[in-house]
Amino acid sequence: MSETDVSTLIAKPSPAEERFISAFKTLGTDASRLRSFEAFAKKGLPHRRIENWRWSDLRAALKTSGVQGNSIRDVFAEIAGPTFTFSAQGVKTPNAQPEGLNWSEELLETSFVASEDLPMAALTAALCENSRVLRIEISADQSLPVRLVIDANASDMFSRIELNVREGVKATIVESHFNQGGFSSTVIEYNVEKNASVERVIYQSANETAVQVVTTNVRLSGDSEFTQSALAKGAKLCRLETRVDHQVEGAKAVINAAYLLDDGRHVDVTSHVRHSAGHCETAQVTKGAVKKGGKGAFQGKFYVARDAQKTDAAMAHNALLLEDGAEVNAKPELEIYADDVQCAHGNTAGSLDEDALFYMRQRGIPLVTAKAMLTQSFIAEGLATISDDALREILEEEANQWLMTSL
Amino acid sequence: MLALNDLVARVENENGEGKEIIKGLSLNVPAGEVHAIMGPNGAGKSTLSYVLTGRDGYEVTSGSASLNDEDLLEMDPEERAAKGLYLSFQYPLEIPGVPVMTFVRTAMNAQRKMRGEDEISAPEFLKKARELAKVLKIQPDMLKRPLNVGFSGGEKKRLEIFQAMMLEPNFLILDETDSGLDIDALRIVSEGVNALRSENRGMLVITHYQRLLDHIKPDKVHVLAAGQIIKTGGPELALRLEKEGYDGVLAEANA
């Protein structure tokens, strides 16, 4: 395909899309990139009339270009462990290489196939520079967490990471997703082999002009375990999308999150869990607390295939509207084709219990502290499954700091 | 100590409409005394406790209320608490995710901070909590559980008294503390309240029934009806009410 053809793939491109087209041209047109770009181009940047993006209008959010803001404080900075940092400069890899941890700065051809279902993953596959591609292989238990830091500035930044956790191996992956004010899209693939166990802990924080998309694809083999817990503080627009596929019997997934949103912040916690094989479990709890002017969205879907008997899957999203003018939208969905399964979903939105607040104040606890305590306990469940005490306490403390200064 | 003078207060409903419930109430409880307030349903007993502790939606339109000569009505609920005003709730609230110990310690240190005092040390706090839990027959593991979550009615009331003994307020309002208590729990709770009696502390015991007053002997008994104190007497007044009901006293007041 010639350059002129690429330019015509998107009808009436927006300024951001024009930026993507010219970026694509500079990268050279290998077949895989072209396929990905075509997949993206079919619908272009997702917007609110695309069902799966109705509460996250990326096209509108990218109308203005990035503004450089302050750097973001990494709450995990003190956590020791091999660290991979993605930034405008490319990938910085660890100085020392622990046993059982290998990496290369290229992906295999068999890697993630971009699809129209995941337009931002497709765009990322098309535009990710070779300097921000990383393939990690963990083939022995790691005593320290492996850290991924994705730190974008005001320029567009695309990153691709593939993590392969080999059979029977236990690993903790700590991810920091930062954006100082531009547009970033990150695609992460987790391949969790038989009997392997992965704990994934995520902290997301961005400046208020940032537009941030993190798309994760998780493949679970037999009897593997994957436990994900995220604390998200949102951005101008932030989409954290997680896709999990239970491919072989006996896999267990936990996908939890807590989000805390100030005025002008948005977060969209989207997940799609596919039970392809039977006898697998999914437990999902998402908790949110939103102030006036904050916008939270939750989209959760469980898909249970015909053969996935004895699936056990439960989904809950509970949001706390801390003030008038806070907004939360939710769409929990179950699509079940097997007949012997346990699937449940629940969704609530409400405000703090006034009676409880008065009770606490009557005991001498100031209103702000009372609100913070109740909110903290409300969102705690979203972080409760983090088994590493130090990591959990860091996120709990970060949540508490936000509550004490924001309420 | 607690002085209410011609207090008039309205309660706002969900639609923001006010209804006058306290209609010119005057009352003095000197330090060291325990006064009981009895009255039929709807007399304004619980409203009085919320007005004094500053709950939102309870608006004082005239009159005054002071504790140790300080105007209560200008203060936020937490400031009133720091001044030593304590309400034992008729229906104590569940505080999910906040263990009893954390809750009480936060409350105690917040009060101390407002009073310009130092925080209590952890060992000192623990020692005091353990001793008082023993007195009130509260199992130690209960103190680690979220406050009142899943507790029985009796346990909740015992925890109210536990908190009072921990916080050592100057003035206690006990709102229907006997409701939901079996005989044993009533005795334990009453013993706790009696242990809190001191010459520096006043108490207002709001109750429907005489039986609590068998355990907590009041110095004075007031009958509250339609937002006013209509009769005041000694402990014998409570006995008379138990025997005759409120009708006789109400009729006398109206005569």
Contacts of B89 in chain A (CB under 8 A): 359, 362
Does residue A359 fall inside a structural domain? no
Element holding B18 (H helix, E strand): strand B18-29
**Number of compact structural domains in chain A:** 1
Out of A110-119, A228-237, A289-298, B72-81, which region has the weakest mean confidence (pLDDT)? A110-119
Out of A171-185, A330-344, B232-246, which region has the weakest mean confidence (pLDDT)?
B232-246
Which has the closest alpha carbon to B63: B9, B120, B132, B118?
A: B9
A6-20: average pLDDT: 88
The pLDDT of residue A318 is 97
Contacts of B108 in chain A (CB under 8 A): 364
B44-101 tens-digit pLDDT: 999 999 999 999 999 999 999 999 999 999 999 999 999 999 999 999 999 999 999 9
The per-residue pLDDT for range B7-43, each reduced to its tens digit, is: 999 998 878 788 999 999 999 999 999 999 999 888 9
Residue A404 confidence (pLDDT): 87
- Rounded CA gap, B225 and B22, in Å? 9
pLDDT tens digits, A300-312: 999 999 999 999 9
d(CA B122, CA A322): 32
Q: Are B97 and B144 in contact (CB under 8 A)?
A: no
Predicted confidence at residue B254, as pLDDT, reads 79
Across the range B226-243, mean pLDDT stands at 92
Q: What is the 3-state secondary structure (H, E, C) of chain A?
A: CCHHHHHHCCCCCCHHHHHHHHHHHHCCCCHHHHHHHHHHHCCCCCCCCCHHHCCCCHHHHCCCCCCCCCCCCCCCCCCCCCEEEEECCEEECCCCCCCCEEEECCCCCCCCCCCCCCHHHHHHHHHCCHHHEEEEEECCCCCCCEEEEEEECCCCEEEEEEEEECCCCEEEEEEEEEECCCEEEEEEEEEECCCCEEEEEEEEEECCCCEEEEEEEEEECCCCEEEEEEEECCECEEEEEEEEEECCCCCEEEEEEEEEECCCCEEEEEEEEEECCCCCEEEEEEEEEECCCCEEEEEEEEEECCCCCCCEEEEEEEEEECCCCCEEEEEEEEEECCCCCEEEEEEEEECCCHHHHHHHHHCCCCHHHHHHHHHHHHHHHHCCCCCCHHHHHHHHHHHHHHHHHHC
The residue of A351, A361, A374, A379 whose CB has the most chain B CBs within 10 angstroms, and thus the best one to mutate to test that interface, is: A361
Q: Kindly state whether residue A221 falls inside one of the protein's structural domains.
A: yes
Give chain B positions within 8 Å (CB) of A380.
97
Structure tokens at A153: 């500035």
Coil, strand or helix at B121 = coil
Contact A367 B78 (CB under 8 A): yes
Instruction: State whether residue B228 is helix, strand or coil.
Output: strand
- Given this model, what pLDDT does residue A301 score? 97
Phi-psi region of B156 (alpha: psi -120 to 50; beta: other; left: phi over 0): alpha
The fraction of chain A above a pLDDT of 70, given in percent, is 97
Confidence bin at B247 (pLDDT 50/70/90): confident
pLDDT of residue B250: 86
Q: Which residue of B has its CA nearest to A359?
A: B93
Q: Residue A112 is encoded by which pair of tokens? A: 């993630």
The conformation of residue B142, written as its DSSP 8-state character, comes to G
Whether residue A69 contacts residue A181, with contact meaning beta carbons closer than 8 Å, is answered with: yes
The answer, yes or no, to whether residue A22 has pLDDT greater than 60, is yes
Q: What is the pLDDT of residue B202?
A: 97
Amino acid at A180: Q
Pairing of the two strands A170-179 and B228-233 = unpaired
Contacts of A150 (CB under 8 A, 6+ apart): A86, A159, A175, A176, A177, A178, A184, A186, A214
- Non-local (6+) Cβ contacts of B142 within 8 A are B100, B133, B151, B155, B159
Q: Is residue A27 part of a domain?
A: yes
What does the pLDDT average to over A65-74? 92
B113-164 pLDDT per residue, tens: 999 999 999 999 999 999 999 999 999 999 999 999 999 998 999 999 999 9
Distance of alpha carbon B234 from alpha carbon B36, whole angstroms = 9
A328 domain-assigned:
yes
* Contact criterion met (CB below 8 Å) for A258 and A225: no
Is position A401 within any domain? no
Predicted confidence band of residue A229 (pLDDT cuts 50, 70, 90): very high
Residue of B nearest to A379 (CA): B97
Q: How confident is the model at residue A50 (pLDDT cuts 50, 70, 90)?
A: very high
Whether A358 and B81 lie within 8 Å, measured CB to CB? no
Query: With contacts defined as CB-CB under 8 Å, which chain B residues touch A358?
Result: 55-56, 77
CA pair distance A266, A259, nearest whole angstrom: 10
**Confidence band of A113 (pLDDT split at 50, 70, 90):** low
Mean pLDDT (chain A) is: 94
pLDDT of residue B211: 86
How far apart, in Å, do the first and last CA atoms of chain B sit? 32
Residues of B in contact with A362 (CB under 8 A): 53, 77-78, 80-81, 86-87, 89
Say if domain B2-254 classifies as CATH 3.40.50.300: yes
Lowest mean pLDDT among A59-68, A103-112, A322-331, A374-383: A103-112
Residue B143 CA to residue B129 CA, distance in Å, equals 9
pLDDT, residue A11, reads 84
Task: Indicate which of A287, A348, A362 best probes the interface with B, i.e. most B CBs within 10 Å of its own CB.
Answer: A362
Q: Looking at residue B248, what is its pLDDT? A: 85
Which are the contacts of A392, defined by CB distance < 8 A and separation ≥ 6?
A229, A383, A384, A386
Q: Is the pLDDT of residue A175 over 70?
A: yes
> A402 in a domain, yes or no?
no
Structural domain for A124, as ranges: 3-353
